[in-house]
Structure 1
Amino acid sequence: MAHILRHKINAPLSLTNNVALTLTRRCASPGTNCNAASLSLTQAKRAFASGSAKGATGSKQSENSADSPFSFIPSNALVPKSGRGERSKGLTEIRGSYYNPVTYTYLNELLSDWGEFVDGVKFAGGAFTLMPPSRLKGLIDMIHSHGTYVSTGGFVEHVLAASNGNTKVVGEYLETCKEMGFDVLELSSGFLTLPADDWTALVKLTKSIGLKPKPEVGILFGAGGDTEGLETKGTRDPRWVIERAEKFLEAGADRIMIESEGITENVKEWRTDVVSALTAALPVDKLMFEAADPAVFAYYIQTLGADVNVFVDHSQIVQLACLRKGIWGTSDLFGRVTTFKPVHDG
């Protein structure tokens, strides 16, 4: 029987040797059902071959929550994901490597399981510039295979500061990002003072190169990193943010990222009045709110609904998905998050 088992396998040698050796030992033991062992090995082989084929082609997961055996249980209808950042609203962008390394294997598994609820992956702190080029390109290609876009984060601030705004250096940075496969280029100036017209020119240049410009604006100067005590420095009037956001959208910005510092982060009390001012003056589907922790994205969903665009840490995607779908939540939101979509409006 052990001889037969060994010759029924076409899987790689590492799997063949390990599994066959285990079953050989079991078949040699008194009372062992070798037919059952053969069946188990065949099933294991099929599962391994299926996984290997998917891994080799880099194909994205085709299943989603609608295919779940639990789909008979009602849950919220959300705008469907149709491509890289093509969902009209309800987008989720997650943080990649920065505070913790987010490896190829981990991210591939995460997107295989939860890619239906992830629209974009954002690098932070210019981390991507320190990666081996082949590894970076492979990581970006894998993310794309899951129908998910890749954002640079706000590293352009360093490029501007280090080059004194040299147009050649900035242009080369944008072109290199495009060549490496980035889709979205975040244009933040939390640490810099930048004239509104210059900022707008960056939006236009980014769009002309073929990247989606996403300016980041906020009410607190010096925001964008691990900053404490900023509440003592005062904040900008929300109208400052609104005026710039309007200029950027008119210039072709894809969306506007709203910085959390000064609103829900580094403040003693949340500035919900700022959120109200922004959403009253600007189209909500063109805004994406930075949500530093679950209490923050829960607030945005409670205030603006399940279709709000948010940026969260990669570790928070499951909790956010459950909240959007209305299947779970904290005591103040449990069973209260709902949607009404007679037809998909994606």
Structure 2
Amino acid sequence: MNKTTVKSRWPEGLSDPSGSRQPKPRAKGRTMIIDKGIGMHAFEDLLSTSGQYIDIIKFGFGTSPLYPPEVLRMKIDAASKYGISVIPGGTLLEAAVRLDVVPGFFRQALACGFTGIEVSDGTINMSRSMRNDLIRDAISLGLTVYTEYGKKLSGSRIDIRHFAETAEQDWACGAELVTVEARESGKGVGLFDEQGEYREGELGAILEAIPNMDRVLWEAPLKEQQVYLIRELGPNVNLGNIPVSDVLTLETMRRGLRSDTFGLHREPYIDYMI
């Protein structure tokens, strides 16, 4: 049976009315998704439909050791073909720190094909010197490092001065991005309150402490949070903990192809109805 090749194109500019999105590899506007354990077929479907819009895939929490090894390797290899950085969840490294098996963690991460790691202390206490060592050791092994700031305990807030100091030190050690914790739920942690709504005035205070947001990634699993950050920081804000089902939805909002951000980054809205 002959296959029909689709050669026609959408009108110029229609795929990105914002006029601001960059192709991969992107220096800003990166999207990190959280994979909580979807199967290989669903994973391949995700990549075929949305792979060009995903920059980082995090295998959430400590799920990585629970996969059949061959399935884990297949998923990592498939994502890497799309130019996606693949990392285990930061909780897994925290467990390795607690169990004193960090060298083994690094060996296995490399053996599995992971291209990066997340260094976090959301559930444990970690000294600054240990955080520095973990970042530098991972980079020396050829891994990209994404760090995370904030505790996972409900009610945890952002200490803005401490966050700014932590971010600067992480970047000085070679971290690619510093992520602001919001958990999988997006509620009661960091920038967001117990209902998942942004804390009034907090983002502005953070911007005063860290004016350049290109190296900060905000966990924002809920649509309203994504809309808020896009409206406040622009379509090229780095966003993380995006559910696998929401990749295309987020990209439409970045580009002004959904009513929530329609016309936000172009000329003011004009009623074209005659």
TM-score tier by shorter-chain length is 0.7 to 0.9
Find the partner of 1:126 among 46, 51, 62. Answer: 62
Are 1:253 and 2:175 matched, yes or no?
yes
- Given the two structures, how large is their TM-score scaled by the length of structure 2? 0.85
- State which of 196, 201, 205 in structure 2 corresponds to 1:277: 205
Q: Deviations over 1:73-130 (max 9, x none)?
A: 5422334333xxx31001001111x2xx312211212221222211111111111111
Partner of 1:286: 215
Within 5 Å, which residues of 2 pair with 1:76-225?
76-82=18-24, 86-96=25-35, 98=36, 101-154=37-90, 155-161=92-98, 163=99, 166=100, 169-218=101-150, 221=151, 223=152
Write the distance in 2 (CA, Å) between the matches of 1:246 and 1:292: 25
Whole-Å Cα distance in 1 between the matches of residues 104 and 190 of structure 2? Answer: 33
Letter in 1 for 2:190: G
Quote the offset at 1:158 in angstroms: 1.4
One-letter identity of the residue aligned with 1:288: L
Sequence identity (%): 26
Distance 2:48 2:194 in 1: 35
The superposition leaves residues 201-231 of structure 1 with CA deviations (integer Å, 9 ceiling, x where unpaired) of 211111111111111002xx3x0xxx6xx22
Q: How many angstroms does 1:142 deviate by?
A: 0.7
Distance 1:108 1:191 in 2: 32
1:207 partner SS: helix
Higher relative contact order (CA 8 A, sep 6+): 2
Separation in 2, partners of 1:236, 1:89: 23
Unmatched 5+ stretches in structure 1: 1-41, 51-62, 340-346
Bigger proportion of residues as strand: 2
The equivalent residue for 1:5 is: none
Which residue, 298, 304, 315 being the options, matches 2:245? 315
Aligned residues: 256
2:9 aligned partner: 69
Alpha-carbon shift at residue 314 of structure 1 (Å): 1.0
Inter-partner Cα distance in structure 2 for 1:217 and 1:336: 30
Q: Secondary structure at the match of 1:87?
A: coil
Moved over 2 A (4+): 71-74, 76-82, 234-237, 265-283
Q: Name the amino acid aligned to 1:258.
A: V
The alpha-carbon distance between structure 1 residues 77 and 198, as it changes in their structure 2 partners (threshold 3 A), is: same
**Contact 1:328/1:335, CA 8 A, preserved across alignment:** no
SS, match of residue 259 in structure 2: coil
Structure 2 alignment gaps of length 5 or more: 183-188, 268-274
Report the 3-state secondary structure (helix = DSSP H, G, I; strand = E; otherwise coil) of the residue aligned with 1:215: strand
Distance 1:269 1:140, change over 3 A: closer
Secondary structure, counterpart of 1:250 in structure 2: helix
Match of 1:237 among 138, 141, 159: 159
Equivalent residue for 1:296?
225
- Residue deviations 1:211-257 (CA, integer Å, cap 9, x gap): 11111002xx3x0xxx6xx22xx635211111111111001111101
Change over 3 Å in CA distance of 1:72–1:269 after alignment to 2: closer
Q: Which of 252, 256, 263 pairs up with 1:326?
A: 256
Structure-2 change in CA distance of 1:102 and 1:254 (3 Å): same
For residue 214 of structure 2, give the secondary structure of its aligned residue in structure 1. Answer: helix
Q: Which has the higher helix share?
A: 1
Which structure would you say has the larger Rg? Answer: 1
Deviation per CA, 1:12-68, whole angstroms, max 9, x where unpaired?
Answer: xxxxxxxxxxxxxxxxxxxxxxxxxxxxxx23xx47xx9xxxxxxxxxxxx9xxx87
Match of 1:263 among 174, 191, 194: 191
Contact (CA 8 Å) 2:216, 2:238: kept in 1 or not?
yes
Contact 2:213 2:237 in 1 (8 A): yes
Any conservation in 1 of the 2:136–2:174 contact (CA below 8 Å)? yes
